[in-house]
Structure 1
Amino acid sequence: MKYTLYSIFVFVCLFSFFPSFLKGQDKNRHYVRTRLMTKDDGSSFRETITYYNSFGLNDEIREIGASPQGNDLQTFVGYDGAFRKVSESLPRPVGNTNFYNDSNPESYTVYEHSELNRVRESYGPGQTWRENGKSVKYTYLYNTKTGDDHCYCLSAKDVGEDIKVEVKSYDANEVSILRTTDEDGNVTDQFTDHEGKLILTRQKANGIPHDTYIVYDDHGRKRVVLPPLAADALGGYSTFMCSQVEEVQLYGYLYYYDERDRCIKKKLPGCEPIYYVYDRCNYLVLKQDGNDREAGRWQSFQYDRLGRQVIWGFINQNRPHADWIRICKKQNLSIYFRGASYGSENYGYTPVHRISHLCTPLIINYYDNYEYTTIFNEFIGFLNRPGYYSSFSASSLTSRDKLTGQVVALLNDPSKRDYIAYYYDQRGREVQSTMNSAFGFRNYTFTNYDFTGQPVSVRKEHTSIYRDTPPASVDDVDHILTYEYEYDHAGRLSKLYQTYDNDAKVLVAKYEYDEVGRLEKKLLHNETATSTYKYNVRGWPTEINEPRMSQKIYYNENLPQGVTPLYNGNIPCLSNTADNNLTSHFTYDGLNRLVSTKQYRPDGRFIETPEKFTYDKMGNVLTIERSYYDPYPDYLNEMTIQYHGNQIKKVTDESRGHDYYVLRYQDAANKDIEYFYDSNGNLVKNLDNKIGFIKYNIINLPEAVAFNDGNLLTYSYMADGRKVRDSYGSFPIRTSTPLDSIVNNTDPYITEHNDWSEDYYYSGRLYRIATPEGFIRFVNRVGYSIFYSMKDHVGSFRGYWEPGHANGPITFGYPSYHPSGIIYRKPYTDVPFALGGKEFMGTNNLDEYFFGARTMYAIMNRFNQMDPLCENYYSVSPYAYCNNNPVNAIDPDGRDYRLTIDKENNRMIVTAMYYASTQDFGSAQQAVDFWNKQSGNYIYKTKEGDYTLDFSLSVIEVPTDESMNVAQRSSVVTEAFRADKSGIANIYEVVSSFKDSNKNGVTVNGNHIGVKYSRQDENTGAHEVGHTLGLTHSSFGLMTSSSTDPYRSLDLNTVGLKDMITYPIRGKSNSEGRGVAGEGHLSVFNFSYSIGSSYYSVSKWGKIRRR
């Protein structure tokens, strides 16, 4: 009888499983229909139907009429007999099964034959990958006592002010190893201990291991990180003190904690320690890095009673670290807004401690209302413009938790400030912003929206300081730029119009898409020129055709003769007509670093500038060789670079060839030490380039560059990082003169300066206005021309063209690049943009790029300052550019979620995955579903236009048996998490209780969620998922700190959502007291960068609001 029942059960299960492969009639299938209304009367909407099989598994997603031709788009999901997802197709139009011209347009997963259900292989879409066996492979191993799989056992503990590390070796089979082999055979080993902590990452290049160790203390806290060149020293010690080992000081990362596990001291490679001070509520209130210490200051952070940062500035008082800890740790230092009734002291906020009185503010934020306008006369009130909103909502309900105003100081002179006001309509959408800038420029933005919240019209007004007479009123403006947007039925941008002042309207671009929504064509400038784009089955760009430039990108199909195909995303070959139709070939090492390039003429003759690079284990470039063959080698560079840690010590260039090119390494000195760095790791002197000294501001951006010949470059930044002015001059001084006296000098040696005011660039007069597809350039005070820019696959500037000529567009300003992307002819001075679309600063042969957060030395493609995110990439030098792979447009992963910006479709997509056991899957799915339902509900507004915020979160079920205890299930889930190489993985677990009985959920390290069994509801789970997406606690709604808070609800705080977007754009991570939120990685789909409109792919100063 038992056998019979079992047989029937299997039969029913198998029979019920058929619907996931054999589709029946729609009316006979389970489904969920979702409609997003696009008109207020409900007559128009966007519809998505999700179908489920008999086991409740999602097996098809159909977007109704979503293709440009109005066809449905289908995505299919397949499962095996164990209900594991084994395949997922790419979206395709209904009835067009061969849309991708590929027999395998789906991803495919192979599991190992065991009860653990671990992934053995993972294929992405594409027949070429499948037929050549090019999958990502996973092997599960254990360590050995000796040999290739050996692992040191390291532990750390405090000894006074130092950290002592004990070095042993693990016995065999004590540590789990996950070996990941990518499509091109590159291997990464991850070693985890029995608690699931990652202790070692091992990669190999040319058979040589590159080890990165993470050392923990008895409390499980990360204390020391030893990158490859520090890890190599381990064999010589049984114990060591970190302060006494040179390799640890030069390459290692050290962390110190207080009794509440808050990081109070941190040391980065080659830098002086950074000190942190917290108040009683765990808010970071003071911070001091090495340069701050030398300047005798502390950075100050002040919060209101809702936990929002309201003031950031500095205190000119060099009190010892221990004193500040003692003063602050028992006090609640939050402040609150009292408005004009409190007077202008402390800018309307009540000071509760002398820290507030001592602070010189650099950024002041105002929320909830507009009372701040009575404190400062510089704020500009709401303005009326015909056709735009004639009023705004001052209701505290509408503006609650919204940023309503900002005061942003000029770092060179904090008494000069930008005054910015934001105004919202009844639906909480920003309809107007006004800025009165530190130098006197004024910028106003007005926006109209459609029902879904997409902008249909944006009007930008600008008042210059270079006018003959002062403005008579706030309505007296000099320039008006109006943009109008049209969208197709699926919300994709279809047309963009531009009107400058009172001139004729111009159709800037008409956008056309293929049937799955990928940008296929742009018709530019009243449809007089065309750009087209092609992709492979994975959506990787294979061809970019601009009006005067064509680029082909090869991966593993249709390759030129002699090129080895690559499958992991590296580019082995590309050609570009902007490079005289040359074809470039690339080779990489086992760490995906570029090691050599070659170029060939169309006739196949090897001719142009081959390059070779060698690296140390940290990715610091040791040698650079470039030559010109015609027909024999003439070396342009034979550079040998010596280091002290990760910092350059000396460079020797042995090349003696003719100076064919403008950009060459100077090599003006021959000293034992030619490069010098400050306490924060910033380059302050370069003798080879005749730079006598560089002064940095509080955010580590160069404020002044003094050359040995007396020339001087100065830069002015606002406190939020915007560069607003640069100046050039010559001073009859010695380089030993204190730089402060130079920068503050008011004598007439400054001969030239340039200004930036949002999209406007001035060089003594208005010179250029950035536009979405290029720029407007002025030849005098009245005449102007419209230009369109050309970019390659990594966004590098390839020239610009002017429409309206009888024989077609005229092209200007071709910069020239080596195959690696390193520039060898400087860009046209009128439009100084090159690699990645970044500004090239070539004045006085400075030859650097400005990246917004750092500067990069162009001849080496190496940064001059530490990476602010270096702790996300321990194994890589903090000065390396793009992990030494400048050919590809993708930055390294390794963060907790990804923010993808689809500029052509005006979408921002937040993507993350959550690994959960079978028992916890339902709770995790409920939490994730909450966020996915928020898709389309919010808009991120920038000066470039509005972006719809979408969520694409998923739960990966890790099969676990009921017989497993919590620890066993946790181990299996952790192992699956460690195996994930997506860079967006997290863990979701349900636990019986926490040590603190008042906690219902926690998120550790921004990627590990724990939810109490008794509170695994949607509210708690979604709250913790929010932390992994970069959100900290807020004053109301979902992210309030306590689940019993009366303001706790499922509403979202828009200020927090803005952090989810802006932190990845700024390249920073969000934190709250000792808690660290998930870190977002930025990925951009964009082939039409605006010249000079922003140093970021999308403005970090955008505002978010609900539709």
Structure 2
Amino acid sequence: MKKLIIPISMLFVAGLYHAQATNTENYVQTRVYLEPVTASSSSAKQIQTVQYFDGLGRPKQVVNVKASPTGKDVVNYIEYDQFGRQVKDYLPVPQSGTMNGAIVLNPLSNATQPSIYGTEKIYSEKVPENSPLDRIQQQIQVGTAWANKPVQFGYDTNITGEVKKYTTTTVWENGATKSGVSDGGSYPQGQLYKNTVTDEDGNSTIEFKNTRGQTVLVRKAVSASENADTYYVYNKYNQLAFVVPPLAVVGTVDQPALDNLCYQYRYDGDNRLVEKKLPGKGWEYMVYDKADRLIMTQDANMRANSKWLITKYDQFGRVIYTGILAGGDRTSMQNQAGNLVITEARHPSGFTKNGMQVYYSNGYFVDIETVLSVNYYDSYPSYSFNPSFPSTIYGKTILTDNAATLGKSTKSLPVMTLLKNIEDDNWTKSYSYYDTKGRPIGGYAINHLGGYTKTESELDFAGAVLQTKTYHKRLDTDVEKVITENFTYDHQNRLLTHKHKIDNRTEEILSQNVYNELSQLKTKRVGGTVLGMGLQKVDYTYNIRGWMTQINDPANLGIDLFGYKIKYNQVDGLENPNIDFMDLKVKPKFNGNIAEVDWRTATEENEPLKRYGYVYDNLNRLSAGFYQKEGSANAKEYFERMEYDRNGNITRLQRSAGLLSGSTTALSIDNLKYDYSGNRLTKVTEEQIGNSNGYPYFVTHNTITYDDNGNMISHKDKGINSILYNYLNLPSTVISGSGRRSSSSSYIYRADGTKLKKILANSFAMSGTEIDYLDGFQYDNKVDLCIGCPSSSAILKFVPTSEGYFDFEKNLYIYNYTDHLGNVRLSYADPNGDGGILPRDMNSKYCEDMGDGNMACYDVWMPGEVVEVNNYYPFGLMHNYTGTTMNSYQYKYNGKELQETGMYDYGARFYMPDIGRWGVVDPLAEKSRRWSPYNYALNNPIYFTDPDGMDVVETASGTTYTGDDAQSAFRSLRSQLEGGPRPKIISRKEWGAKSPILGGGRSYEKLSPTMKMFGAFDVSVGGVPIDLAKYYNTITVHHSGNKDDYMSIQQLQQKEQDDGYADIPYHFAIDSKGNIYEGRPIGVKGSHVKGGNTGNIGIVLMSDLDTENKGLGFFQSMFETSDGGASTAMRQSLTDLVSHLNGKYGIQYLGGHKEKATDPRNCPGNGGMKIVEYLRNKLHMLSPKNEN
């Protein structure tokens, strides 16, 4: 027997324990303790896995010991075919009990239990081709219904005339490349690799790559005769110069097409992106210092005012402050910065700007006009407004900046952030406090009005939050509000209960969770004050793919207020609900699209079941949503039907209203025709004459106008005369109407884009409304506009909770039922405190014993306790009927705030549900360049949502939006299904990493944390806050090329530092034994692909994987039958690591170094590329686009 027991340290105590594992098997046992122990323990709270290997060193079974909610083992079974390939991937199977880590002889036998998988097929299959290349031809997902619905892969080369050949001419102008593009005919036959992926519903994507591995064309089949083609065009230096989206491909790529539809890029002599132009926007410029750090950026609106956004760093590459600087053109600014390593340092007096003392030097570009943000690290600056520093929080000692006190300090930690309001010179000052393990457990934020929000968190040994307290004041003179939250967890740290208390009010139990054996949220009791009870009991069900299928049962509500059913590969309604569109049929879907949703509420007596059936085109765009109500399914109510151009711009939208009393067919309210200049919507024409409920009708419709950044600045059809924007392209003022009927909405934001205030004013009224947004606490303040009028005080309206919100005026917890998109569908409360919810107004008999043997009975009117009911068209417009019995708050579609203009505020952009698009270019438009930068949710708002206006996420077939707790549980399950257990990563501390060598032009750019409220952190790049999951979208694999069989991680670090790098340039390294090491921290920008490190995670395989260096025979080299030196353990660890990173960051692109590099090289070798291509197919990733 061979056994290896790995202790997990980091924040945990390791234990060496001889499990009840079979003594005839090879295994690795891992324990992560969730509570402190002083010796190895089998009874302590812990996460324990045992991985078993066969005689060839291949994993064959992973036992997750007592991992199920009832303490049973959950086993991952692994099998190989006769060629040693893992062609079947099994779902994890909960067992009938626990064997304390021993190998399970028949791990699949319990899978057939009805509460587990029943009769479903529980493995996915890969069907490789019958050749030495071993390429995947089909991938068949789990589930019996998917057995004959494979994803198919095709491999070929192009034929003559199949792919256009764009040619470029490149000259140097102002120190940068400037390329022109022209039609060069087509590629000859056999010049391009052609890879085709066809999904379960027959929708095809074809990718053509040249011999350098660069993607030339991505083709989506719209129909048998029409394609949506996106071309990638490179200059003579093999840099991405143009992206030509589908709408531009159909015509001549002349200058208007380039400016209005295409992406254009220019680079300097160091291969850095210095100029770019997105469709419909003006040119944007970038300036770097000598250390290749982005120092200044300028968009078209800023250029019109000769302004630059500047970012300054300290000596460790951390962002210390940002601001606005006056300056000339890019060339002059680059000449000033290019020969300097621009760093500033802490300074005892610093400088003063915008009413704030900044304790940093200002030695470079000293004429900053406005400071926007300041970040402090290591030690707390001495400001007069600093709050009292806590010595303990929940009994835990707080780190100070004096290492002499505890032998450790806040050195290297972010401790304070200052954020200026964009529209005035008021500031938000935020502090973070840490325990002795460096974990943030407290925060203090002084808001721009002088009040504060203070948070304190009690963490358990493993970092799970046990209790939090939030102390809040709008103004420093206000009465403090205190919110206390308590959390309990099961033995695997799944959340069980979440309790909430406002001041000294009775504690409310927001949620009580029960999980099934697969760790999916099964039942949630919501609201109330008694454990085991609840105002509502919400039941969840899932299909074999892990996709949510029901929230309660709409066919049988019982005492539930709301039921919602999602159907993917099932259609129960009419296939053709609207005979006006005979070509649009509702069909079962197998690729994750939703075919139908059913819902019912209990707000009407005998309320009928309601349904939407959905139709999609071959690009997975929503073509129609057909509403059907029980008893009148073909009445054509509430439907939406869309047509698109090749870029995904809506060209026509039709919509109907609800059924009028006595009618059998609903009225059409919209027949909208869209006109465009490029992707900019210039006019919407309402062709439904006589419409009074839909889009406004005019004989001659008005032109929609834009600024140079592509921001919509007027939409007069809807009464919007002008919109002014700040430097973040957020609306600062919206003016509607004219003359005495004009009104305005003005906004105040922090420099990070957080909305702080909205001011509503009407020219015909002598009062207005101010709404304050302070760390979730929302206030309304009626403001008198007349001179000498008395002022009123702000009223605290509500604060959100994980299940809804607390209404301070009504002194009520209000709970929201939300669907899979986060749409608020029904809200309810318990104003009488009886522990039950009356769904609707009704007469009831009340009887009283008169004491003489007789009963006196009265008719009593009882008001319903449902606060609001909302139904939505597919693109988010609300139906014209909304049932309410109390005033409701304005967070509706996707949980976003509805504005007075009818738009929804998503954070980065405002969305217009009446026309189904944004009014501002996507800040991350380059992540989806074949789509219009104004499209909403990739034109599939049933499958995708956009949490912040910057990027879409999957919903129903990915993360389900049924509250934070359910999201966490489901993400955990999804990680198990897709990537297996998180791989063991040996930290820098564990392998004894040396400190980085800084200075001397060595790149070590930290993605500096920007502190936010409640002790949480975001990351900023160039001073712009981001989420790491949105920052990282690419993985690049390298090989070290060492000729010996083994290289240590220490040798690798020494080699790279000797070669002039600050540290290991890669984020992870894998050796031949399969050990995974932390290289450069994930919070530090990589330095492994020249000019292409942004958003790119680097992984190096510590071996020589080039078959040409291995003495292979001609046949082996040609067909790459060798692994090029990659051991089985190395391949498996790379698979585990990439799967883990994909689940965590949502990786889109996976490639080898040679696919991203601009100079010829064969890294990671032929063997490495073989592994990369296998993983790319397995995980459905794209090859990298050779771009920054």
TM-score by length of 2: 0.72
1:530 aligns with 2:537: yes
Report what 1:294 is aligned to: 304
1:597 aligns with 2:625: yes
Report what 1:117 is aligned to: 134
Cα 1:118–1:989 change in 2 (3 A) is: farther
Amino acid at match of 1:565: P
- CA distance in structure 2 between the aligned counterparts of 1:948 and 1:104, rounded to whole angstroms: 41
1:549 aligns with 2:562: yes
- Deviates further, 181-190 or 165-174: 165-174
Amino acid at match of 1:90: L
1:303 aligns with 2:313: yes
Amino acid at match of 2:33: M
Cα 1:558–1:930 change in 2 (3 A) is: farther
- Deviates further, 182-191 or 684-693: 684-693
Instruction: Map 1:836-915 onto structure 2 (within 5 A).
Output: 836-841=894-899, 843=900, 846-889=901-944, 903-904=965-966, 906=968
Report what 1:213 is aligned to: 231
Report what 1:379 is aligned to: 386
Aligned residues, how many? 925
* 8 Å contact from structure 1 (residues 519, 533) kept in 2: yes
3-state DSSP of counterpart to 1:97? helix
Cα 1:272–1:946 change in 2 (3 A) is: closer
Report what 2:49 is aligned to: 48
Instruction: Map 1:924-939 onto structure 2 (within 5 A).
Output: 929-930=985-986
Report what 2:464 is aligned to: 454
Cα 1:1064–1:140 change in 2 (3 A) is: closer
Q: Of 728, 731, 735, which aligns to 1:706?
A: 735
3-state DSSP of counterpart to 2:358? helix
3-state DSSP of counterpart to 1:80? coil
Report what 1:723 is aligned to: 755
- CA distance in structure 1 between the aligned counterparts of 2:973 and 2:566, rounded to whole angstroms: 28
Report what 1:564 is aligned to: 587
Offset at 1:987?
Answer: 3.7
Report what 1:645 is aligned to: 678
Offset at 1:1000?
Answer: 8.7
* 8 Å contact from structure 2 (residues 1035, 1099) kept in 1: no
Report what 2:797 is aligned to: 767
Cα 1:171–1:928 change in 2 (3 A) is: farther
Report what 2:711 is aligned to: 682
- CA distance in structure 2 between the aligned counterparts of 1:501 and 1:1030, rounded to whole angstroms: 53
3-state DSSP of counterpart to 2:800? strand
TM-score by length of 1: 0.77
RMSD of the alignment, in Å?
A: 4.3
- CA distance in structure 2 between the aligned counterparts of 1:760 and 1:506, rounded to whole angstroms: 18
- CA distance in structure 1 between the aligned counterparts of 2:935 and 2:445, rounded to whole angstroms: 37
Amino acid at match of 2:695: Y
Cα 1:484–1:1061 change in 2 (3 A) is: farther
Q: Of 11, 23, 28, which aligns to 2:24?
A: 28
Report what 1:181 is aligned to: 198
* 8 Å contact from structure 1 (residues 911, 984) kept in 2: no
* 8 Å contact from structure 2 (residues 944, 952) kept in 1: no
Report what 1:491 is aligned to: 493
Q: Which digits, 9 at most, give the CA deviation of each residue in 1:580-621, with x for residues without a partner?
A: 521111110000001012122223631222221100000000
Cα 1:613–1:536 change in 2 (3 A) is: same
- CA distance in structure 2 between the aligned counterparts of 1:332 and 1:122, rounded to whole angstroms: 51
Amino acid at match of 1:232: V
Cα 1:160–1:464 change in 2 (3 A) is: closer
* 8 Å contact from structure 1 (residues 278, 325) kept in 2: yes
- Deviates further, 526-535 or 271-280: 526-535
1:623 aligns with 2:652: yes
Offset at 1:730?
Answer: 2.3
Offset at 1:195?
Answer: 0.8
Offset at 1:152?
Answer: 2.2
Instruction: Map 1:1052-1091 onto structure 2 (within 5 A).
Output: none
Instruction: Map 1:370-449 onto structure 2 (within 5 A).
Output: 370=380, 372=381, 374=382, 376-383=383-390, 387-389=394-396, 391-395=398-402, 397-413=408-424, 415-449=425-459
- CA distance in structure 1 between the aligned counterparts of 2:650 and 2:149, rounded to whole angstroms: 30
* 8 Å contact from structure 1 (residues 121, 137) kept in 2: yes
* 8 Å contact from structure 1 (residues 926, 1018) kept in 2: no
* 8 Å contact from structure 1 (residues 1002, 1009) kept in 2: no
Cα 1:698–1:893 change in 2 (3 A) is: closer
* 8 Å contact from structure 2 (residues 159, 188) kept in 1: yes
**What percentage of aligned pairs have identical amino acids?**
24
- CA distance in structure 2 between the aligned counterparts of 1:395 and 1:1063, rounded to whole angstroms: 35
1:350 aligns with 2:361: yes
- CA distance in structure 1 between the aligned counterparts of 2:1071 and 2:92, rounded to whole angstroms: 37
3-state DSSP of counterpart to 2:930? coil
3-state DSSP of counterpart to 2:201? coil
Question: Unaligned 5+ residue runs, structure 1?
Answer: 1-23, 235-239, 472-476, 733-747, 916-924, 950-981, 1044-1059, 1068-1074, 1077-1107
Cα 1:942–1:1061 change in 2 (3 A) is: farther
Cα 1:548–1:623 change in 2 (3 A) is: same
Report what 1:798 is aligned to: 825
Report what 1:654 is aligned to: 687
- CA distance in structure 2 between the aligned counterparts of 1:537 and 1:125, rounded to whole angstroms: 7
Q: Which digits, 9 at most, give the CA deviation of each residue in 1:174-215, with x for residues without a partner?
A: 101101100000011000001110010011112311110011
1:38 aligns with 2:34: yes
- CA distance in structure 1 between the aligned counterparts of 2:350 and 2:721, rounded to whole angstroms: 51
Report what 1:1086 is aligned to: none
* 8 Å contact from structure 2 (residues 874, 941) kept in 1: no
Cα 1:222–1:799 change in 2 (3 A) is: same
Cα 1:626–1:720 change in 2 (3 A) is: same
Q: Which digits, 9 at most, give the CA deviation of each residue in 1:291-322, with x for residues without a partner?
A: 1112331101000010011111111x242221
Amino acid at match of 1:796: N
- CA distance in structure 2 between the aligned counterparts of 1:348 and 1:850, rounded to whole angstroms: 35
3-state DSSP of counterpart to 1:883? helix
Cα 1:826–1:425 change in 2 (3 A) is: farther
- CA distance in structure 1 between the aligned counterparts of 2:349 and 2:1142, rounded to whole angstroms: 33
Offset at 1:911?
Answer: 10
Q: Of 257, 265, 270, which aligns to 2:275?
A: 265
Cα 1:831–1:1066 change in 2 (3 A) is: farther
Offset at 1:642?
Answer: 0.2
- CA distance in structure 1 between the aligned counterparts of 2:85 and 2:574, rounded to whole angstroms: 42
Offset at 1:894?
Answer: 11
* 8 Å contact from structure 1 (residues 346, 357) kept in 2: no
- Deviates further, 878-887 or 496-505: 496-505
Amino acid at match of 1:299: L
* 8 Å contact from structure 2 (residues 875, 913) kept in 1: no
Question: Unaligned 5+ residue runs, structure 2?
Answer: 1-19, 97-109, 554-559, 576-585, 602-606, 782-794, 839-864, 991-1008, 1020-1031, 1044-1051, 1103-1140, 1149-1155, 1158-1188
Report what 1:197 is aligned to: 214
Amino acid at match of 1:793: H
- CA distance in structure 2 between the aligned counterparts of 1:68 and 1:911, rounded to whole angstroms: 16
Amino acid at match of 1:379: N
Amino acid at match of 1:708: G
Q: Of 601, 607, 612, which aligns to 1:584?
A: 612
1:228 aligns with 2:246: yes
Offset at 1:1019?
Answer: 5.3
- CA distance in structure 2 between the aligned counterparts of 1:947 and 1:725, rounded to whole angstroms: 22
- CA distance in structure 1 between the aligned counterparts of 2:836 and 2:502, rounded to whole angstroms: 25
- Deviates further, 763-772 or 91-100: 91-100
- CA distance in structure 1 between the aligned counterparts of 2:568 and 2:66, rounded to whole angstroms: 33
